[in-house]
């Protein structure tokens, strides 16, 4: 018996070179993702970001990236710097804070060797204000926000 022919998968396309608003839906993790670079494979922690774009039925995802905030890493340069104000390489920051953030994305596309078209995120920015990163104190504890001011202190006559 021969199996039925599979229907080709048709992915929902987005326009390229134009800003598309949306939000960060989820952060996906893979503790043992296989990354291959110049023929060498390694198992490392991986992460990818899932977006919901306004007007589109299906969620869109980034490629798998190494889960590090190294100065030249894709995760840091392409996603954390534009979405988290004050971000620094190797910072202590919970990436799950991105969930729910309103963003805008710009996409590009390229042809694969077999003629298929691949679309990927070219740029991402916060739609309004980005999140704010406050580095921890030298002892590792979080920085306490300053107390709210009630205005200038008034002198009280005795």
Domain ranges of the chain: 19-132
Flag whether pLDDT at 4 surpasses 90.
no
Q: Measuring CA to CA, which residue among 64, 60, 61 is closest to residue 34?
A: 64
- Answer with the residue of higher pLDDT: 4 or 102: 102
Quick count: other Cβ atoms within 10 Å of Cβ 63?
Answer: 11
Name the H helices within 18-155: 74, 81-83
108 - beta bridge partners? 120
Rounded Cα distance between 157 and 74, Å, is 61
- In percent, the amount of the chain with pLDDT more than 70 equals 87
29: tokens are: 């993790």
The pLDDT, as a whole number, for residue 19 is 97
Would you place residue 5 in the very low, low, confident or very high pLDDT band (cuts 50, 70, 90)? confident
pTM, entire model: 0.79
């Amino acid at each position: 018996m021969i199996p039925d022919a599979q229907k080709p998968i048709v992915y929902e396309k987005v326009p390229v070179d134009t800003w598309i608003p949306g939000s960060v839906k989820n952060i996906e993790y893979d503790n043992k993702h296989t990354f291959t670079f110049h023929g060498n494979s390694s198992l490392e922690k991986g992460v990818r970001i899932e977006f919901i774009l306004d007007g589109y039925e299906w969620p869109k995802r980034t490629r798998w990236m190494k889960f590090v905030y190294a100065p030249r890493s894709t995760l840091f340069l392409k996603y954390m710097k534009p979405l988290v104000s004050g971000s620094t390489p190797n910072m202590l920051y919970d990436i799950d804070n991105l969930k729910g953030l309103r963003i805008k994305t710009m996409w590009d596309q390229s042809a694969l060797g077999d003629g298929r078209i691949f679309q990927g995120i070219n740029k991402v920015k916060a739609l309004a204000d980005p999140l704010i990163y406050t580095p921890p104190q030298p002892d590792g504890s979080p920085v306490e926000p300053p107390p709210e001011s009630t205005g200038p202190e008034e002198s009280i006559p005795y």
